[in-house]
Structure 1
Amino acid sequence: MEKIVILTGAGISAESGLGTFRDEGGLWAQHRIEDVATPEGFARDPALVHGFYNARRVQAAKAQPNAAHEALARLQQDWPDEVAIITQNVDSLHEAGGSRNVIHMHGTLAGALCAACEHRWLSPPEMAVGESCPACAAPAARPDVVWFGEMPYHMDAIYDHLAEAWIFAAIGTSGQVYPAAAFVHEASLSGARTVEFNLTPSDGASSFDEVILGPATDTVPRWVDKLLSQR
Protein backbone atom coordinates (compact mmCIF):
# COMPACT_ATOMS: atom_id res chain seq x y z
CA MET A 1 0.00 0.00 0.00
CA GLU A 2 1.32 3.44 -0.94
CA LYS A 3 -1.30 5.67 0.63
CA ILE A 4 -0.48 9.37 0.79
CA VAL A 5 -1.96 11.33 3.68
CA ILE A 6 -1.89 15.12 3.44
CA LEU A 7 -2.62 17.65 6.17
CA THR A 8 -3.19 21.23 5.07
CA GLY A 9 -3.33 24.39 7.15
CA ALA A 10 -3.93 28.08 6.65
CA GLY A 11 -0.72 28.51 4.66
CA ILE A 12 -2.13 26.74 1.61
CA SER A 13 -5.09 29.13 1.42
CA ALA A 14 -3.09 32.27 2.20
CA GLU A 15 -2.03 32.50 -1.45
CA SER A 16 -5.72 32.58 -2.36
CA GLY A 17 -6.15 35.68 -0.22
CA LEU A 18 -7.42 34.09 2.97
CA GLY A 19 -5.40 35.38 5.91
CA THR A 20 -4.30 33.33 8.90
CA PHE A 21 -4.83 34.33 12.50
CA ARG A 22 -1.13 35.19 12.65
CA ASP A 23 -1.33 37.72 9.81
CA GLU A 24 -1.29 41.42 10.57
CA GLY A 25 -4.05 43.58 9.20
CA GLY A 26 -6.55 40.82 8.39
CA LEU A 27 -9.86 39.83 9.97
CA TRP A 28 -8.14 37.95 12.77
CA ALA A 29 -6.00 40.95 13.68
CA GLN A 30 -9.15 42.92 14.51
CA HIS A 31 -10.25 40.53 17.26
CA ARG A 32 -8.87 38.48 20.10
CA ILE A 33 -9.02 34.76 19.41
CA GLU A 34 -10.75 34.15 22.75
CA ASP A 35 -13.54 36.53 21.72
CA VAL A 36 -14.41 35.02 18.33
CA ALA A 37 -13.08 31.44 18.33
CA THR A 38 -14.05 29.91 21.68
CA PRO A 39 -17.33 28.64 23.13
CA GLU A 40 -16.92 31.16 25.96
CA GLY A 41 -16.60 34.02 23.48
CA PHE A 42 -19.80 32.93 21.74
CA ALA A 43 -21.62 32.75 25.07
CA ARG A 44 -20.46 36.28 25.97
CA ASP A 45 -21.17 37.98 22.66
CA PRO A 46 -22.85 35.85 20.01
CA ALA A 47 -23.48 38.90 17.81
CA LEU A 48 -19.75 39.59 17.59
CA VAL A 49 -19.00 35.97 16.73
CA HIS A 50 -21.72 35.75 14.09
CA GLY A 51 -20.52 39.02 12.56
CA PHE A 52 -16.95 37.71 12.42
CA TYR A 53 -17.94 34.48 10.67
CA ASN A 54 -20.33 36.28 8.33
CA ALA A 55 -17.35 38.38 7.23
CA ARG A 56 -15.22 35.26 6.81
CA ARG A 57 -17.90 33.70 4.58
CA VAL A 58 -17.89 36.79 2.37
CA GLN A 59 -14.11 36.65 2.16
CA ALA A 60 -14.04 32.91 1.44
CA ALA A 61 -16.71 33.22 -1.27
CA LYS A 62 -14.40 35.54 -3.22
CA ALA A 63 -11.37 33.25 -2.99
CA GLN A 64 -10.32 30.92 -5.78
CA PRO A 65 -8.32 27.70 -5.46
CA ASN A 66 -4.65 28.13 -6.24
CA ALA A 67 -2.04 25.94 -7.92
CA ALA A 68 -1.36 24.01 -4.70
CA HIS A 69 -5.03 23.05 -4.26
CA GLU A 70 -5.21 22.03 -7.90
CA ALA A 71 -2.00 20.00 -7.69
CA LEU A 72 -3.34 17.99 -4.75
CA ALA A 73 -6.54 17.29 -6.66
CA ARG A 74 -4.42 16.05 -9.58
CA LEU A 75 -2.42 13.82 -7.23
CA GLN A 76 -5.63 12.44 -5.78
CA GLN A 77 -6.93 11.68 -9.26
CA ASP A 78 -3.76 10.19 -10.76
CA TRP A 79 -2.03 8.43 -7.86
CA PRO A 80 -2.67 4.65 -8.05
CA ASP A 81 -3.40 4.35 -4.33
CA GLU A 82 -5.53 6.44 -1.97
CA VAL A 83 -4.70 10.07 -1.31
CA ALA A 84 -6.41 11.27 1.87
CA ILE A 85 -6.66 15.03 2.30
CA ILE A 86 -7.20 16.32 5.82
CA THR A 87 -7.54 20.06 6.31
CA GLN A 88 -7.55 22.38 9.28
CA ASN A 89 -9.09 25.03 7.03
CA VAL A 90 -12.77 25.91 7.11
CA ASP A 91 -12.88 27.13 3.51
CA SER A 92 -13.94 24.95 0.55
CA LEU A 93 -10.96 25.64 -1.70
CA HIS A 94 -9.85 22.00 -1.85
CA GLU A 95 -13.25 21.01 -3.19
CA ALA A 96 -13.29 23.97 -5.59
CA GLY A 97 -9.88 22.82 -6.83
CA GLY A 98 -11.21 19.33 -7.60
CA SER A 99 -10.39 17.28 -4.50
CA ARG A 100 -12.85 14.68 -3.22
CA ASN A 101 -13.78 13.37 0.21
CA VAL A 102 -11.84 16.09 2.02
CA ILE A 103 -11.80 15.63 5.80
CA HIS A 104 -12.54 18.98 7.46
CA MET A 105 -11.28 18.42 10.98
CA HIS A 106 -12.22 21.97 12.03
CA GLY A 107 -15.61 22.11 10.29
CA THR A 108 -16.57 24.48 7.48
CA LEU A 109 -17.85 28.01 7.01
CA ALA A 110 -20.58 26.49 4.87
CA GLY A 111 -22.08 24.66 7.84
CA ALA A 112 -24.38 25.60 10.71
CA LEU A 113 -24.64 23.67 13.97
CA CYS A 114 -27.31 23.60 16.66
CA ALA A 115 -25.66 24.03 20.05
CA ALA A 116 -28.69 22.36 21.65
CA CYS A 117 -29.20 19.15 19.63
CA GLU A 118 -26.08 19.09 17.39
CA HIS A 119 -28.12 19.03 14.18
CA ARG A 120 -26.15 20.28 11.17
CA TRP A 121 -27.33 22.07 8.06
CA LEU A 122 -26.03 24.36 5.35
CA SER A 123 -25.38 27.83 6.66
CA PRO A 124 -27.02 30.85 5.04
CA PRO A 125 -24.57 33.55 3.89
CA GLU A 126 -25.37 35.44 7.09
CA MET A 127 -26.24 33.97 10.47
CA ALA A 128 -27.85 35.94 13.28
CA VAL A 129 -28.24 35.66 17.03
CA GLY A 130 -31.21 33.51 17.99
CA GLU A 131 -31.50 31.78 14.63
CA SER A 132 -33.51 28.62 15.18
CA CYS A 133 -32.51 25.05 14.46
CA PRO A 134 -34.56 23.43 11.67
CA ALA A 135 -34.62 20.16 13.63
CA CYS A 136 -35.47 21.15 17.21
CA ALA A 137 -36.41 24.84 16.81
CA ALA A 138 -34.03 25.89 19.59
CA PRO A 139 -32.64 29.41 19.04
CA ALA A 140 -29.12 27.98 19.26
CA ALA A 141 -27.60 28.13 15.77
CA ARG A 142 -23.83 28.66 15.61
CA PRO A 143 -21.17 28.24 12.91
CA ASP A 144 -20.20 24.60 12.43
CA VAL A 145 -16.53 25.27 13.09
CA VAL A 146 -14.32 23.82 15.78
CA TRP A 147 -13.26 26.50 18.24
CA PHE A 148 -10.25 26.49 20.54
CA GLY A 149 -10.95 24.12 23.41
CA GLU A 150 -13.25 21.89 21.34
CA MET A 151 -12.43 18.45 19.95
CA PRO A 152 -11.74 18.36 16.20
CA TYR A 153 -14.01 16.28 14.00
CA HIS A 154 -13.33 12.87 12.41
CA MET A 155 -10.39 11.99 14.66
CA ASP A 156 -10.93 8.21 14.47
CA ALA A 157 -10.86 8.30 10.67
CA ILE A 158 -7.81 10.57 10.71
CA TYR A 159 -5.81 8.25 12.95
CA ASP A 160 -6.79 5.30 10.75
CA HIS A 161 -5.37 7.15 7.74
CA LEU A 162 -2.16 8.04 9.59
CA ALA A 163 -1.66 4.40 10.58
CA GLU A 164 -1.76 3.44 6.88
CA ALA A 165 0.33 6.29 5.49
CA TRP A 166 3.23 5.59 3.15
CA ILE A 167 3.90 9.32 2.83
CA PHE A 168 2.63 11.97 5.23
CA ALA A 169 2.82 15.59 4.05
CA ALA A 170 1.96 18.67 6.09
CA ILE A 171 1.39 21.80 4.00
CA GLY A 172 1.11 25.30 5.41
CA THR A 173 0.66 24.30 9.04
CA SER A 174 2.16 26.06 12.05
CA GLY A 175 3.01 22.95 14.03
CA GLN A 176 1.61 24.67 17.12
CA VAL A 177 -1.98 23.41 17.35
CA TYR A 178 -2.72 19.98 18.78
CA PRO A 179 -3.77 17.33 17.98
CA ALA A 180 -2.71 18.10 14.39
CA ALA A 181 0.81 19.00 15.50
CA ALA A 182 1.29 15.39 16.60
CA PHE A 183 0.17 13.81 13.31
CA VAL A 184 3.75 13.62 12.05
CA HIS A 185 4.67 11.47 15.05
CA GLU A 186 1.68 9.18 14.47
CA ALA A 187 2.62 8.75 10.83
CA SER A 188 6.30 8.17 11.66
CA LEU A 189 5.39 5.42 14.10
CA SER A 190 3.68 3.64 11.21
CA GLY A 191 6.78 3.93 9.04
CA ALA A 192 5.66 6.78 6.80
CA ARG A 193 8.10 9.10 5.13
CA THR A 194 7.23 12.60 6.30
CA VAL A 195 7.60 15.95 4.56
CA GLU A 196 6.72 19.50 5.56
CA PHE A 197 5.94 22.37 3.17
CA ASN A 198 6.09 25.88 4.59
CA LEU A 199 7.45 29.34 3.92
CA THR A 200 9.65 28.94 7.01
CA PRO A 201 10.22 25.87 9.18
CA SER A 202 7.42 25.21 11.65
CA ASP A 203 7.96 24.59 15.36
CA GLY A 204 7.82 20.86 14.59
CA ALA A 205 9.99 20.87 11.48
CA SER A 206 12.71 18.76 13.12
CA SER A 207 10.22 15.87 13.36
CA PHE A 208 9.95 15.58 9.57
CA ASP A 209 12.24 13.60 7.29
CA GLU A 210 12.25 16.44 4.77
CA VAL A 211 11.36 20.13 4.90
CA ILE A 212 10.61 21.97 1.64
CA LEU A 213 10.51 25.75 1.93
CA GLY A 214 8.82 28.23 -0.40
CA PRO A 215 5.36 29.26 -1.59
CA ALA A 216 2.98 26.30 -1.72
CA THR A 217 1.87 27.32 -5.21
CA ASP A 218 5.44 26.59 -6.34
CA THR A 219 6.64 23.73 -4.12
CA VAL A 220 3.51 21.57 -4.03
CA PRO A 221 2.97 21.31 -7.83
CA ARG A 222 6.66 20.44 -8.31
CA TRP A 223 6.43 17.76 -5.61
CA VAL A 224 3.30 16.30 -7.18
CA ASP A 225 4.93 16.27 -10.61
CA LYS A 226 7.93 14.42 -9.16
CA LEU A 227 5.77 11.83 -7.41
CA LEU A 228 3.65 11.14 -10.47
CA SER A 229 6.68 10.93 -12.76
CA GLN A 230 8.02 8.08 -10.64
CA ARG A 231 4.92 5.94 -11.12
Structure 2
Amino acid sequence: MNIFVLTGAGVSAESGLGTFRDKDGLWTRFDPMKLATPEAFAQNPDEVHAFYNMRRQNLLAAEPNAAHRALAHMETALAERGGSLFLCTQNIDDLHERAGSQRVAHMHGELLKARCTACGETMPWLKDLSVEVPCPSCRRSGGLRPHVVWFGEMPLEMDALYDALLAADLFVAIGTSGSVYPAAGFVTEAQGHGIRTCEINLDPSDNARQFDDARYGPASATVPTWVEQVLTT
Protein backbone atom coordinates (compact mmCIF):
# COMPACT_ATOMS: atom_id res chain seq x y z
CA MET A 1 0.00 0.00 0.00
CA ASN A 2 1.19 3.50 -0.85
CA ILE A 3 -0.08 6.19 1.49
CA PHE A 4 0.20 9.96 1.08
CA VAL A 5 -0.02 11.74 4.44
CA LEU A 6 -0.46 15.49 4.73
CA THR A 7 0.15 16.94 8.19
CA GLY A 8 -0.70 20.39 9.51
CA ALA A 9 -0.24 22.35 12.70
CA GLY A 10 -2.57 20.05 14.65
CA VAL A 11 -0.03 17.22 14.61
CA SER A 12 2.51 19.38 16.47
CA ALA A 13 0.13 21.22 18.80
CA GLU A 14 0.61 18.70 21.62
CA SER A 15 4.35 19.28 21.38
CA GLY A 16 3.74 22.88 22.42
CA LEU A 17 3.83 24.49 18.98
CA GLY A 18 0.96 26.84 18.28
CA THR A 19 -1.65 26.31 15.61
CA PHE A 20 -2.69 29.21 13.39
CA ARG A 21 -6.42 29.42 12.78
CA ASP A 22 -7.92 28.04 15.99
CA LYS A 23 -9.57 30.48 18.38
CA ASP A 24 -6.27 30.78 20.29
CA GLY A 25 -4.04 30.35 17.24
CA LEU A 26 -1.07 32.48 16.27
CA TRP A 27 -2.97 34.52 13.72
CA THR A 28 -5.49 35.63 16.36
CA ARG A 29 -2.60 37.18 18.32
CA PHE A 30 -0.32 38.32 15.51
CA ASP A 31 -1.12 39.96 12.20
CA PRO A 32 0.22 37.67 9.44
CA MET A 33 0.28 40.55 6.96
CA LYS A 34 2.83 42.29 9.21
CA LEU A 35 4.92 39.19 9.90
CA ALA A 36 4.58 36.62 7.15
CA THR A 37 4.77 38.34 3.77
CA PRO A 38 7.69 39.42 1.58
CA GLU A 39 6.37 43.00 1.84
CA ALA A 40 6.44 42.87 5.64
CA PHE A 41 10.03 41.64 5.57
CA ALA A 42 11.04 44.41 3.17
CA GLN A 43 9.36 47.11 5.28
CA ASN A 44 10.20 45.91 8.79
CA PRO A 45 12.74 43.06 8.82
CA ASP A 46 13.53 43.54 12.52
CA GLU A 47 9.93 42.79 13.52
CA VAL A 48 9.73 39.79 11.23
CA HIS A 49 13.03 38.42 12.52
CA ALA A 50 11.90 38.87 16.13
CA PHE A 51 8.75 36.85 15.45
CA TYR A 52 10.59 33.99 13.79
CA ASN A 53 13.40 34.05 16.35
CA MET A 54 10.74 33.47 19.00
CA ARG A 55 9.23 30.61 17.04
CA ARG A 56 12.67 29.08 16.38
CA GLN A 57 13.53 29.02 20.08
CA ASN A 58 10.12 27.53 20.84
CA LEU A 59 10.75 24.79 18.29
CA LEU A 60 14.20 23.98 19.65
CA ALA A 61 12.66 23.40 23.07
CA ALA A 62 9.87 21.17 21.72
CA GLU A 63 9.87 17.38 21.42
CA PRO A 64 8.06 15.03 19.01
CA ASN A 65 4.86 13.50 20.30
CA ALA A 66 3.25 10.09 19.80
CA ALA A 67 1.71 11.13 16.47
CA HIS A 68 5.11 11.98 14.98
CA ARG A 69 6.58 8.73 16.26
CA ALA A 70 3.69 6.66 14.91
CA LEU A 71 4.12 8.09 11.41
CA ALA A 72 7.87 7.38 11.52
CA HIS A 73 7.07 3.78 12.50
CA MET A 74 4.55 3.53 9.67
CA GLU A 75 7.14 4.68 7.13
CA THR A 76 9.49 1.86 8.14
CA ALA A 77 6.77 -0.78 8.38
CA LEU A 78 5.26 -0.01 4.98
CA ALA A 79 8.70 -0.05 3.32
CA GLU A 80 9.37 -3.50 4.78
CA ARG A 81 6.17 -4.70 3.09
CA GLY A 82 7.00 -3.21 -0.28
CA GLY A 83 4.77 -0.17 0.21
CA SER A 84 5.54 3.44 0.98
CA LEU A 85 4.57 6.44 3.05
CA PHE A 86 4.97 9.82 1.41
CA LEU A 87 4.93 12.38 4.21
CA CYS A 88 4.14 15.94 3.18
CA THR A 89 3.88 18.55 5.90
CA GLN A 90 2.61 22.11 5.96
CA ASN A 91 4.58 22.55 9.18
CA ILE A 92 7.90 24.35 9.23
CA ASP A 93 9.10 22.41 12.30
CA ASP A 94 11.45 19.40 12.22
CA LEU A 95 9.53 17.17 14.64
CA HIS A 96 8.80 14.52 12.02
CA GLU A 97 12.52 14.17 11.36
CA ARG A 98 13.38 14.09 15.04
CA ALA A 99 10.80 11.34 15.54
CA GLY A 100 12.58 9.23 12.91
CA SER A 101 10.86 9.98 9.59
CA GLN A 102 13.43 9.71 6.83
CA ARG A 103 11.65 11.45 3.94
CA VAL A 104 9.64 14.58 4.69
CA ALA A 105 8.51 17.08 2.06
CA HIS A 106 8.18 20.54 3.64
CA MET A 107 5.85 22.38 1.29
CA HIS A 108 5.97 25.54 3.44
CA GLY A 109 9.70 25.48 4.12
CA GLU A 110 11.73 24.85 7.27
CA LEU A 111 12.17 27.17 10.23
CA LEU A 112 15.59 25.73 11.11
CA LYS A 113 17.01 26.89 7.80
CA ALA A 114 17.86 30.35 6.47
CA ARG A 115 17.88 31.55 2.88
CA CYS A 116 19.87 34.43 1.46
CA THR A 117 17.87 36.75 -0.77
CA ALA A 118 21.12 38.03 -2.28
CA CYS A 119 22.79 34.80 -3.43
CA GLY A 120 19.94 32.30 -3.05
CA GLU A 121 21.87 29.92 -0.81
CA THR A 122 19.87 27.89 1.77
CA MET A 123 21.58 26.68 4.93
CA PRO A 124 20.82 25.12 8.33
CA TRP A 125 20.19 27.82 10.96
CA LEU A 126 19.59 27.33 14.68
CA LYS A 127 20.50 30.81 15.96
CA ASP A 128 18.64 34.10 15.90
CA LEU A 129 18.58 36.03 12.64
CA SER A 130 18.90 39.79 12.23
CA VAL A 131 19.69 42.28 9.50
CA GLU A 132 23.24 42.52 10.86
CA VAL A 133 24.02 38.83 10.34
CA PRO A 134 26.07 38.23 7.17
CA CYS A 135 25.36 35.34 4.83
CA PRO A 136 27.99 32.62 5.36
CA SER A 137 28.07 32.07 1.60
CA CYS A 138 28.23 35.54 0.01
CA ARG A 139 29.09 37.52 3.19
CA ARG A 140 26.41 40.16 2.51
CA SER A 141 24.40 41.44 5.47
CA GLY A 142 20.66 42.08 5.55
CA GLY A 143 19.62 39.39 3.09
CA LEU A 144 19.13 36.37 5.33
CA ARG A 145 15.50 35.39 5.93
CA PRO A 146 13.76 32.34 7.39
CA HIS A 147 13.45 29.57 4.79
CA VAL A 148 9.67 29.52 5.06
CA VAL A 149 6.88 30.15 2.56
CA TRP A 150 5.11 33.41 3.31
CA PHE A 151 1.67 34.56 2.17
CA GLY A 152 1.88 35.43 -1.51
CA GLU A 153 4.68 32.92 -2.19
CA MET A 154 4.38 29.56 -3.93
CA PRO A 155 4.69 26.40 -1.81
CA LEU A 156 7.70 24.23 -2.50
CA GLU A 157 8.01 20.97 -4.48
CA MET A 158 4.47 21.12 -5.88
CA ASP A 159 5.15 18.97 -8.95
CA ALA A 160 6.68 16.22 -6.82
CA LEU A 161 3.81 16.43 -4.35
CA TYR A 162 1.14 15.96 -7.01
CA ASP A 163 3.10 13.08 -8.56
CA ALA A 164 3.27 11.34 -5.17
CA LEU A 165 -0.39 12.04 -4.43
CA LEU A 166 -1.58 10.50 -7.69
CA ALA A 167 0.57 7.40 -7.05
CA ALA A 168 -1.09 6.78 -3.68
CA ASP A 169 -3.74 4.26 -2.73
CA LEU A 170 -4.85 6.36 0.24
CA PHE A 171 -4.68 10.08 1.06
CA VAL A 172 -4.77 11.06 4.74
CA ALA A 173 -4.89 14.62 6.11
CA ILE A 174 -3.83 14.92 9.76
CA GLY A 175 -4.21 18.04 11.89
CA THR A 176 -5.10 20.40 9.06
CA SER A 177 -7.63 23.23 8.93
CA GLY A 178 -8.71 22.46 5.39
CA SER A 179 -8.62 26.16 4.57
CA VAL A 180 -5.11 26.71 3.21
CA TYR A 181 -4.62 26.10 -0.49
CA PRO A 182 -3.20 24.38 -2.42
CA ALA A 183 -2.98 21.74 0.36
CA ALA A 184 -6.72 21.98 1.06
CA GLY A 185 -7.33 20.91 -2.52
CA PHE A 186 -5.41 17.64 -2.24
CA VAL A 187 -8.55 15.77 -1.12
CA THR A 188 -10.42 16.92 -4.23
CA GLU A 189 -7.51 15.89 -6.43
CA ALA A 190 -7.30 12.49 -4.75
CA GLN A 191 -11.00 11.76 -5.04
CA GLY A 192 -11.01 12.84 -8.67
CA HIS A 193 -8.53 10.05 -9.34
CA GLY A 194 -10.36 7.41 -7.33
CA ILE A 195 -8.00 7.52 -4.34
CA ARG A 196 -9.55 6.80 -0.94
CA THR A 197 -9.36 9.66 1.58
CA CYS A 198 -9.34 9.98 5.35
CA GLU A 199 -9.25 12.91 7.76
CA ILE A 200 -7.70 12.65 11.23
CA ASN A 201 -8.22 15.83 13.21
CA LEU A 202 -9.14 17.27 16.57
CA ASP A 203 -12.37 18.63 15.06
CA PRO A 204 -13.87 18.52 11.56
CA SER A 205 -11.90 20.66 9.12
CA ASP A 206 -13.39 23.19 6.73
CA ASN A 207 -13.49 20.55 3.98
CA ALA A 208 -14.36 17.56 6.21
CA ARG A 209 -17.37 16.55 4.08
CA GLN A 210 -15.10 15.75 1.16
CA PHE A 211 -13.37 12.87 2.95
CA ASP A 212 -14.48 9.23 2.73
CA ASP A 213 -13.54 8.52 6.35
CA ALA A 214 -12.84 10.62 9.44
CA ARG A 215 -11.49 10.16 12.96
CA TYR A 216 -11.52 12.91 15.56
CA GLY A 217 -9.56 13.47 18.74
CA PRO A 218 -6.06 14.49 19.88
CA ALA A 219 -3.38 13.55 17.36
CA SER A 220 -1.29 11.77 19.99
CA ALA A 221 -4.13 9.28 20.47
CA THR A 222 -5.87 9.07 17.10
CA VAL A 223 -2.79 8.79 14.88
CA PRO A 224 -1.12 5.84 16.69
CA THR A 225 -4.45 3.99 16.78
CA TRP A 226 -4.99 4.55 13.06
CA VAL A 227 -1.42 3.48 12.24
CA GLU A 228 -1.80 0.28 14.23
CA GLN A 229 -5.08 -0.53 12.48
CA VAL A 230 -3.61 0.03 9.03
CA LEU A 231 -0.56 -2.10 9.77
CA THR A 232 -2.59 -4.98 11.18
CA THR A 233 -5.05 -5.25 8.29
Scaled to the shorter chain, the TM-score interval is over 0.9
Query: Which deviates more from structure 2 when the two are superposed, residues 82-91 or residues 180-189?
Result: 180-189
Query: Which deviates more from structure 2 when the two are superposed, residues 124-133 or residues 25-34?
Result: 25-34
Deviations 1:25-78 (A, max 9, x none): 665544201111111111111001101111001101111111111110111010
The structure 2 residue matched to 1:106, chosen from 105, 108, 125, is 108
The residue that corresponds to 1:92 in the other structure is 94
By how many angstroms is 1:190 displaced? 2.5
Q: 1:206 & 1:97 partners in 2: Cα distance? A: 31
The structure 2 residue matched to 1:142, chosen from 128, 140, 145, is 145
Amino acid at match of 2:181: Y
The structure 2 residue matched to 1:82, chosen from 56, 81, 84, is 84
Amino acid at match of 1:87: T
The structure 2 residue matched to 1:162, chosen from 159, 162, 165, is 165
Amino acid at match of 2:199: E
The structure 1 residue matched to 2:187, chosen from 184, 187, 212, is 184
By how many angstroms is 1:116 displaced? 2.3
By how many angstroms is 1:83 displaced? 0.3
Amino acid at match of 2:160: A
The alignment partner of 1:54 has SS state of helix
The residue that corresponds to 2:31 in the other structure is 32
The residue that corresponds to 1:65 in the other structure is 64
Q: 2:64 & 2:126 partners in 1: Cα distance? A: 22
Q: 2:201 & 2:24 partners in 1: Cα distance? A: 21
The alignment partner of 2:169 has SS state of strand
Q: Which runs of 5+ in 2 are unaligned?
A: none
By how many angstroms is 1:174 displaced? 0.5
The alignment partner of 2:133 has SS state of coil
The residue that corresponds to 1:174 in the other structure is 177
Q: Could you say if the C-alpha distance between residues 78 and 59 of structure 1 is closer, same or farther in structure 2, counting changes exceeding 3 Å?
A: same
Q: Could you say if the C-alpha distance between residues 27 and 211 of structure 1 is closer, same or farther in structure 2, counting changes exceeding 3 Å?
A: closer
Q: 1:124 & 1:174 partners in 2: Cα distance? A: 28
Deviations 1:102-124 (A, max 9, x none): 00111111100111232101114
Amino acid at match of 2:216: L
Q: Which runs of 5+ in 1 are unaligned?
A: none
Paired residues, what number?
Answer: 229
Q: 2:223 & 2:94 partners in 1: Cα distance? A: 18
The residue that corresponds to 2:19 in the other structure is 20
The residue that corresponds to 1:52 in the other structure is 51
By how many angstroms is 1:159 displaced? 0.5
Question: Which consecutive segments of 4 or more residues in structure 1 shift more than 3 A?
Answer: 23-30
TM-score normalized with structure 2 length? 0.94
TM-score normalized with structure 1 length? 0.95
Q: 2:153 & 2:38 partners in 1: Cα distance? A: 8
Q: 1:125 & 1:28 partners in 2: Cα distance? A: 24
Q: CA RMSD in A?
A: 1.4
Q: 2:114 & 2:77 partners in 1: Cα distance? A: 34
Q: Percent identity?
A: 52
Q: 1:74 & 1:156 partners in 2: Cα distance? A: 26
